[in-house]
Structure 1
Amino acid sequence: MVLLHADADSFFASVVLRRRPDLVPVPVAVSAHVFVASPNYPARARGVRGGMLVHEALRICPELVVIDVPRTEVEEASDALFDIFHQSAHTVEPGSMEEGFLDPGTSDVGAAVELARTIRRRAMVELGLPVSVGIGRTKLMAKLASRAAKPDGLYVIDAQREAELRSSLPVGDVWGIGAHTKERLRLIGVHRLHDLDRISPDELKRVCGTTMSSRLQRIREGTDEATLHPVEGRTSLSSEGSITGFARPDWTPTELVAACTLRVCRRAERAGLAAAGLSLTVKSEAVGPVIVLKHQAPDPTSDLNYWAAVSRDLLTQQTLPRVVGVRVTLTGLVPPNRIPPTLF
């Protein structure tokens, strides 16, 4: 069995650069609120990283061109990219809006490579987006391969390379291991996967918990996950944004909710889907969990005016702390021909 991991390179920045070819060779970062969402590779070469504060990025790279996230364009590009994934592969498991695991429906590496080339070619020709694809026997190996393929490449981890990685790979490079777990493993002398061999299962479980210890042992043994969990049709679509952007006027919460609702409704309409519900997730300056407000429609609908009124009412139905960002999600999506008839 082989799997593909397809990942659009510097996704937000790549989307912007399609209409700004003059900026391709210079450092560019797309920002969300006050953070860098996606730097291009010239910016990365100068030390700019995703998640960095914009003012810090400008300090280390004064020539950096900062552009506010074009939410509509990014979300539409993501939809189109996943259309290519679904049209090309037997099964798709989304990872984020720009990457996912793909089952090519074959165990032949040569056929998988040809499929990867087709996906990369279509993404560039049809969408103007560079996509790196990795091929491996398990999810971890496919993801490691796509990392090795960047930028804009294709890489295969064969059996020999897989055996090497299962011994020498630094634990910090294992997908899903964060800084806290990495440090706890370091304290017991686990720096690379082969260091696990001298750690008892009980000690490993004590250090990083039952789930992670079991996963690490499976990775070392080569029995880690290779099964994809597809989304059989979209059941929800989301659009989000921030009150404050870079070099643009701040929006009011009402304006931001209206913009997000418009974007997500247009995406649902293009996909031929009607929604049974809407949830509004509000992020505030207050410390604590986000606030989630929900509404269920009497019948699934794609009517923008209906959902715009719903989201506006949800925003004003209670006193909210100072809003910094929102996410509007249409839920219970179904094709119009599956909407049950109204019973009288």
Structure 2
Amino acid sequence: MTAGPILHADADSFFASVALRSRPELAAQPVAVVAHVYIASATYPARARGVRAGMLAQDALRQCPELMLIDVPRAEIEEVGDALFDIFHNSAVAVEPGSIEEAFLDVGAADQAGAVEAGQVLRRRVARELGIPISVGVGRTKLMAKLASRRAKPDGLFVIDVAEETVLRTTLPLSEVWGIGATTLARLHRIGVIRLGDVDGIPQNELQHVCGTAMARRLWRIREGTDDAVVRPVEARTSLTAEGSTAGYDRPDKTPTELVQACVDRLCKRAERAGLAGTGITLTLRPELGGKAIVLKRTLMAATTGRDTWLAVAGDLLAGERVPRLAGLRVSLTGLLPLDRVQHTLF
């Protein structure tokens, strides 16, 4: 159980920061990374000019004509993401992943000063070894640590102490509470719950009816200060994922087969680096015109990191499906096992 303060570490504009490692001269300019035809990540100078993730690239250029666009460097992003978590695990007694570039960390600090020192050491190490900035938040619970990391951006460290936490548990807008969806937020707003303190004036049965029992309990715990304060590590990695887009910025379009090959290549290298082998593969195809993703799966009798094996399996899955025009796809190696647990067949 986590005893001391919690850290939330989050890489700043991760995709863009990775892309700029080899282009430091662009650091002060508005830059965005493009996946398919959408903005995947924008630097802070670009955000200051109204560019946001999820925008169409052409709309972003109209908003900011001087914007520099870079195609998303998938292989480098996956490599840096893996290395970032290596540093997290080396710096903490427990790590709970949130995404490829963020996690909650229990650094074993007994008090706030120890947590701050650990956070600063972590920030310096990531900058030195990976060449990207991360922001770190320190708080007593996960919610407070995550709120603190938002305030720390860009490239900083922020602490939410006990005094500020007490105020936030009444005044914080629900829109800033991570994990509340837009539909639930709208329902809560309709009954006058705009800030955390507004929960107190709503009968229990009404709050449960509006947002569900689980969310109602979470909101009550946040008000009481008994919300989640435990960093829960993932005991074993069970899957690895790589993605690709058919279209990009200033590069030829890629076919589904070319994307699958590139993803499998990267996955096999990452699995070998991590000392893991997969027993299954999943292809998730995203149609260009939207709609439900197409999911193709297969499991093998034995675990392997063999590139040729997985390329053959993935190719067979694609060949057996009528593939529409795609925006992109994702390939996952599943059922991962440590290489020392893989049983090799004799024949």
**Could you state the TM-score of these two structures normalised by the residue count of structure 2?**
0.96
1:163-174 to 2 correspondences below 5 Å: 163-174=166-177
Give the CA deviation at 1:308.
1.1
Could you say which residue in structure 1 is the equivalent of 2:68? 65
Could you say which residue in structure 1 is the equivalent of 2:116? 113
Name the SS for the 2:251 alignment partner.
coil
Q: In the alignment, residue 163 of structure 2 is paired with which amino acid? A: Q
Give the CA deviation at 1:194.
1.0
5+ long unaligned stretches in structure 1? none
Greater shift, 201-210 or 164-173, is seen at 201-210
Equivalent of 2:282 in 279, 301, 323: 279
Give the CA deviation at 1:335.
2.0
Distance 1:107 1:295 in 2: 47
Q: In the alignment, residue 203 of structure 1 is paired with which amino acid? A: E
Equivalent of 1:194 in 180, 194, 197: 197
Name the SS for the 2:53 alignment partner.
coil
Does residue 8 (structure 1) correspond to residue 6 (structure 2)? The answer is no
Equivalent of 2:297 in 289, 294, 297: 294
Name the SS for the 1:249 alignment partner.
coil
Distance 2:197 2:179 in 1: 18
RMSD (Å), alpha carbons:
1.4
Distance 2:153 2:290 in 1: 37
1:99-248 to 2 correspondences below 5 Å: 99-248=102-251
Distance 1:189 1:66 in 2: 43
Could you say which residue in structure 2 is the equivalent of 1:311? 314
Distance 1:137 1:294 in 2: 42
Give the CA deviation at 1:17.
0.8
Q: In the alignment, residue 21 of structure 1 is paired with which amino acid? A: P
Could you say which residue in structure 1 is the equivalent of 2:31? 28
Task: Pick closer, same or farther for the CA change 1:28–1:287 going to 2, 3 Å.
Answer: closer
Distance 1:114 1:335 in 2: 34
Q: Is the 1:286–1:321 Cα contact (8 Å) retained in structure 2?
A: no
Could you say which residue in structure 2 is the equivalent of 1:261? 264
Q: In the alignment, residue 94 of structure 1 is paired with which amino acid? A: P
Give the CA deviation at 1:75.
0.4
Q: Is the 1:101–1:139 Cα contact (8 Å) retained in structure 2?
A: yes
Distance 2:56 2:218 in 1: 33
Greater shift, 226-235 or 260-269, is seen at 226-235
Does residue 39 (structure 1) correspond to residue 42 (structure 2)? The answer is yes
Distance 2:60 2:140 in 1: 38
5+ long unaligned stretches in structure 2? none
Name the SS for the 1:144 alignment partner.
helix
Distance 2:29 2:291 in 1: 39
The CA deviation string for residues 72-119 of structure 1, in whole angstroms up to 9 with x for no partner, is: 000000000000000110111100000011111233222211111111
Name the SS for the 2:322 alignment partner.
coil
Name the SS for the 1:274 alignment partner.
strand
Give the CA deviation at 1:252.
0.7
Structure 1 runs of 4+ with >3 Å offset: 285-288, 341-344
Equivalent of 2:334 in 314, 331, 334: 331
Distance 1:290 1:127 in 2: 34
The CA deviation string for residues 253-306 of structure 1, in whole angstroms up to 9 with x for no partner, is: 111111111111111111121111111111113554212111212211111111
Distance 1:226 1:82 in 2: 21
Name the SS for the 1:195 alignment partner.
helix
Q: In the alignment, residue 37 of structure 2 is paired with which amino acid? A: V
Distance 1:341 1:240 in 2: 29
Distance 1:323 1:313 in 2: 18
**Could you state the TM-score of these two structures normalised by the residue count of structure 1?**
0.96
Distance 1:214 1:285 in 2: 40
Name the SS for the 2:212 alignment partner.
helix
Give the CA deviation at 1:62.
0.8
Distance 1:123 1:155 in 2: 17
Q: In the alignment, residue 57 of structure 1 is paired with which amino acid? A: A
Q: In the alignment, residue 43 of structure 2 is paired with which amino acid? A: N
